[in-house]
Amino acid sequence: MSLEGKKLGVIGTGKMGGALIEGVYNAGIIPGTDMYASDVYEPSLQELNKKYGMNVSVDNAETIDNSDIIILAVKPQILKSVLSSIKDSLNENKLLISIAAGVKIEELEKELNPETRVVRVMPNIAATVSEAASAVSAGTNASMADAEDVMAIFQLVGSAIIVPENLMDAVTGVSGSGPAYIFPVIEAMADGGVYEGLDRNSAMILAAQTVLGAAKMMLETGMHPGQLKDMVTSPAGTTIRGVHILEESGVRAAFMNAVIASSDRSKELGK
């Protein structure tokens, strides 16, 4: 894999930064001794050092100096100040990955030296359980090899695709915000089970596993979701009754509208 022999740095070790560190470490491609992390919160750094044997510092420049690839995993509201502070530590030999939601490549590059190689990634919260859906867009100076390296990293914590940056708002609507659409579905399915007599814990397990299993079937078989639905809906059976209620309630339109609304809001925030 193209990541072999590379040194990885992570600036910001919150949920997403921590999830990426864990995914890379567990894959065994980059050893802890070749991983670097920096954060203002020293206890989290010490925990990473203890758990993975990685190098930690409160100095972002130290992380950059020792790394080939740097993941910037800080919140969008402090991103500009962090970019300003690391600008002169970056050069054409360093690849910078930003996972800041809503911050365009143009905005990132404007804060950095002209030769800086930048790749933007939109992952989602499922990176914390190594099931993220991530989209990758390369900046002005980033090569296809750079994009492939980034893909390799994010495939360690789920699935990743390359998209043109103008589609990142659509990505936000589908996968960035998507987990928040599915959690109420799981809860509602479990509520139905409780209504019919199941205990809450059993209903939750059945509902969550059903969603997981359905998604896995589609990804692994490559079949259209309509085909898979038809496999379950026997004539005059129980499932088609349930599907009819979903259609009658406008569930498809509701999900489409949720994605469109989220994408529109992402566009607004990006202006």
My answer on whether 142 and 213 are in the same domain is no
Note the pLDDT of residue 77. 86
Give the pLDDT score at 271: 74
CA gap 238, 201 in Å, rounded = 23
The pLDDT, as a whole number, for residue 76 is 86
- 106-116, pLDDT tens digit by residue? 999 999 999 99
Q: From CA 159, how far away is CA 61, in angstroms rounded?
A: 30
On whether both 158 and 196 belong to a single domain, the answer is no
- DSSP 8-state assignment for residue 22: H
Q: Per the structure block, which two tokens stand in for 130?
A: 């190594």
User: What pLDDT, on a 0 to 100 scale, did the predictor assign at position 5?
Assistant: 87
CATH code, 255: 1.10.3730.10
Q: For residue 269, what pLDDT is reported?
A: 78
Q: What is the pLDDT of residues 158-195, one digit of tens each?
A: 999 999 999 999 999 999 999 999 999 999 999 999 99
Two structure tokens written together for 210: 């059903």
Is residue 152 over pLDDT 80?
Answer: yes
pLDDT of amino acid 113: 92
Report residue 128's pLDDT band, with 50, 70 and 90 as the boundaries. Answer: confident
Same domain for 157 and 26, yes or no, is yes
Q: What is the pTM of this model?
A: 0.90
Residues in the chain: 271
- pLDDT (tens digit per residue) in 223-270: 999 999 999 999 999 999 999 999 999 999 999 999 999 999 988 877
Average pLDDT estimate for 54-76: 94
Report the distance separating Cα 17 and Cα 99, nearest Å: 9
What pLDDT, in 10s, does the model give residues 13-61? Answer: 998 899 999 989 998 889 999 999 999 989 999 999 999 999 999 999 9
- pLDDT range class, residue 155, cuts 50, 70, 90: very high
Residue 252: per-residue pLDDT: 97
pLDDT at 63 over 80: yes
Alpha helices in the chain (DSSP H): 15-27, 42-52, 60-65, 76-86, 105-110, 144-154, 168-171, 178-195, 200-221, 225-232, 238-248, 251-269
| Class of residue 39 by CB neighbours under 10 A (exposed 0-12, middle 13-18, buried 19+) | buried
| CB-count exposure of residue 185 (10 Å: 0-12, 13-18, 19+) | middle
Shared domain check, 208 and 131 = no
Domain boundary among 115, 134, 167: 167
Give 91: exposed, middle or buried? Use CB within 10 Å, 0-12, 13-18, 19+. exposed
Give a yes or no: residue 3 inside a domain. Answer: no
As a whole number of Å, the end-to-end CA separation of the chain is: 38
Claim to verify: residue 74 and residue 95 sit in the same structural domain: yes
Residue with tokens 């038809």: 230
**Percent over 90 (pLDDT), the chain:** 86
122 and 184 inside one domain:
no
On whether residue 1 sits in a domain, the answer given is no
Q: For position 4, what pLDDT does the model report?
A: 82
Domain that holds residue 255: 176-269
User: 213 and 86, same structural domain?
Assistant: no
pLDDT tens figures, 197-217 = 999 999 999 999 999 999 999
> Is the pLDDT score of 74 beyond 60?
yes
